[in-house]
């Protein structure tokens, strides 16, 4: 790895956690909008599922911050934090579950915009 690749990695590595924090913000907005829509339409409180999705995405965000710190530290003790198995179970699966739950919940509340019902 040359000096430019290392510098690029140091400069771009914070963008991953920042984008996940942005996703948490978007899920919070959907939570609040769905809460109000559900109150107006007297729907069951499906909006609480957004909290579950936010929890899973929050776990993925924390793991991503730890993985970025481990990547930048270059310590051999942190090598297991960068392994594909740890990444799959601690980052990718919680992110997938959180986004999947949130998309299904958003569809439950907001599908009328697309279907016209």
Is residue 59, in this structure, part of any structural domain at all? yes
What's residue 7's pLDDT? 64
The 3 state secondary structure assigned to the chain is CCHHHHHHHHHHCCHHHHHHHHHHHHHHHHHHHHHHHHHHHCCCCHHHHHHHHHHHHHHHHHHHHHHHHHHHHCCHHHHHHHCHHHHHHHHHHHHHHHHHHHHHHHHHHHCHHHHCC
Is residue 8, in this structure, part of any structural domain at all? no
Is residue 42, in this structure, part of any structural domain at all? yes
Domain count for the chain? 1
What's residue 20's pLDDT? 94
Model confidence at 53, in pLDDT bands (50, 70, 90)?
very high
Model confidence at 5, in pLDDT bands (50, 70, 90)?
low
Q: What is the mean pLDDT of residues 81-109?
A: 94
Look up the domain containing 41 and give its range.
Answer: 17-108
């Amino acid at each position: 790895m040359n000096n430019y690749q290392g510098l690029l990695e140091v400069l771009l590595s914070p963008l991953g956690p920042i984008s996940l924090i942005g996703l948490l913000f978007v899920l919070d907005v959907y939570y609040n909008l769905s809460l109000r829509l559900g109150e107006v339409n007297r729907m069951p409180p499906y909006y609480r599922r957004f909290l579950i999705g936010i929890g899973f995405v929050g776990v993925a965000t924390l793991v991503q911050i730890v993985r970025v710190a481990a990547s930048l530290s270059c310590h051999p003790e942190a090598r297991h934090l960068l392994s594909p198995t740890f990444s799959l179970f601690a980052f990718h699966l919680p992110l997938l579950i959180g986004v999947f739950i949130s998309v299904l919940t958003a569809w439950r509340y907001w599908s009328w915009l697309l279907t016209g019902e």
